[in-house]
Structure 1
Amino acid sequence: MPSSKNVVFDIVGTLVSYDVLFDAIDEQMGDRLRAEGIKPTLLGYTWIEVAEREYTYLSISGQYRSFVTCFELLFWRMLHMAGISEPRRFATEKDLEFIMKRYGNMGLRPGAAECVTKLREAGYTVWAFTAGDLARVGGYFANAGLEWPAENLLSCDTQGIGKPDLRAYQPLLEQLSQHGRPWFAAGHMWDVSAARCAGYKSAYCSIWEKEPIPELFGEMDVMAETLPEMADKIIAAQ
């Protein structure tokens, strides 16, 4: 049963870092990529961003596919767009398998566990609402030793509607709003600004994007540079 104080978190990119993914690309393909003038981290970032776009476009056109499916299948296209003329000669299925396995074992960001603990100790029920699949995202928490009840972990896969479609945020918002207006917290400005439009109170942490760009997305109710600071500001604003 939700309490009167609830915070819904985006997970991948917010509480979970992409560093393991970037390191996997570098470990498996870094020398080959750098020989072509391609930075492994930039390839990884671009791959994530393009996958988010295609995932969203498929969702809004009624052709929902899971994010991890989009991400994996776009690998060869990303190499082509990075300037590799023959991606399937340049890289192998084993390269992709190695990277995807590491992708399934990414870790928490600095301060993530402290952030969640602060909120729980202040009486908040903490929720996860992710575009990722439940097994993989649940594994991130389990591997980090951060307890997360299964009933408080939700995925866009269940509805077949991807964020930032406002309809994606509505079911949990309606459930939690019976107990007071909930917060939505994210490290993606597009995500938290959409949640704000849907009706949540908004909390943004710049730990991932660095530049909030309020000129594009607007000002959020809470803005912070670290996850623990964001928790403190949410608690203070209640």
Structure 2
Amino acid sequence: MSNIRKHVVFDIVGTIVTYDSILDALEKRMGDRLRDEGVKPSMLGYMWFEVSEREYTYLSITGRYRSFYDVFTSIFYRMLWIGGIQDPRSFASDEDLAYIMGHIEDLPLRAGAAECLQLLRDAGFTIWVFTAGDRQNVRGYFLKNGIEMPLENFVSCDDTGVGKPALDAYKPLLERLGDDEKWFAAAHMWDVSSAKQAGYKGAYCTALEKEACVDIFGEMDVMSDTLPEMARKIIQASTSSA
């Protein structure tokens, strides 16, 4: 009998949980104001996350690591300016920002997330979390939805001060898992393709981005449109390669 164990390392924000509570708070607090300026709240919200990821990464690769939460909070008014608001600090207030940020701990599970994790666990996989977020906050997304996940299975970029998608960010857990079978699963193609380059098998779900853009990122070992489908394909690929 083989002693090789099986692991799946998940990205969380955007993959297992959606941005919806932040987008809903932005809509509720500022939706009418934004539309009066010709700004679609949901588009602004996604831009806010995407630009925050870029700034977070740039700070990390230049040796000035800051937590994603700090970056996301700091660039709020900049995003309003980029969105076309001429005087962001009179258009919005710190109270608006505090209201929106108060919902970052409420990010809801993506459809099929719980089923995906259970399918993998039932097939003998150990689930890990690798996130740019705070470990306690990210664990809360699981616990609030009745999904048990031991804190020791959460790894944060904050632990090493190296942000994804730098290849060195993926390697500590990769090395910790040794010669076992190791998958990395995400709904961000930049994330899973980088993890694959670092040495993981890659599993990608299109639920967030829709377009995989394989012409620039390449094909992953598993690609699917839903999280449960991704889990089933990982299980099948693992069984077929055993």
TM-score by length of 2: 0.96
> What are the equivalent positions in structure 2 for 1:42-121 lying under 5 Å apart?
42-121=43-122
Match of 1:205 in 2: 205
Match of 1:24 in 2: 25
Contact 1:3 1:125 in 2 (8 A): no
Deviation at 1:157, TM superposition (A): 0.3
Distance 2:152 2:104 in 1: 24
Structure 2 residue runs without a partner (length 5+): none
1:150-194 deviations in Å (ceiling 9; x for gaps): 01011000000000000000010011133x230000000000000
Match of 1:222 in 2: 222
Give the 3-state SS of the residue equivalent to 1:231 in structure 2.
helix
Is 1:170 the counterpart of 2:166? The answer is no
Give the 3-state SS of the residue equivalent to 1:14 in structure 2.
coil
Distance 1:24 1:141 in 2: 21
Deviation at 1:197, TM superposition (A): 0.3
Deviation at 1:3, TM superposition (A): 6.9
Identity of aligned residues (%): 59
1:50-87 deviations in Å (ceiling 9; x for gaps): 10000000000000000010000000000011111111
Identify the range of structure 1 (97-106 vs 50-59) with the bigger mean alpha-carbon deviation.
97-106
Distance 1:202 1:147 in 2: 24
Match of 2:137 in 1: 136
Match of 1:232 in 2: 232
Contact 2:187 2:206 in 1 (8 A): yes
Deviation at 1:223, TM superposition (A): 0.2
Distance 1:158 1:168 in 2: 10
Runs of 4+ in 1 over 2 A off after TM superposition: none
Contact 2:9 2:130 in 1 (8 A): yes
Contact 1:107 1:140 in 2 (8 A): yes
Give the 3-state SS of the residue equivalent to 1:167 in structure 2.
helix
Distance 2:17 2:213 in 1: 22
Contact 2:117 2:231 in 1 (8 A): yes
1:170-222 deviations in Å (ceiling 9; x for gaps): 010011133x2300000000000000000000000000000001001000000
- Count of aligned positions: 236
Deviation at 1:47, TM superposition (A): 0.5
Give the 3-state SS of the residue equivalent to 1:185 in structure 2.
strand
Distance 1:109 1:22 in 2: 14
Deviation at 1:107, TM superposition (A): 0.9
Give the 3-state SS of the residue equivalent to 2:181 in structure 1.
coil
RMSD: 1.1
Contact 1:3 1:124 in 2 (8 A): no
Distance 2:37 2:86 in 1: 11
Match of 2:186 in 1: 186
Change (3 A) 1:3 1:103: farther
Contact 2:4 2:181 in 1 (8 A): no
Contact 1:195 1:202 in 2 (8 A): yes
Structure 1 residue runs without a partner (length 5+): none
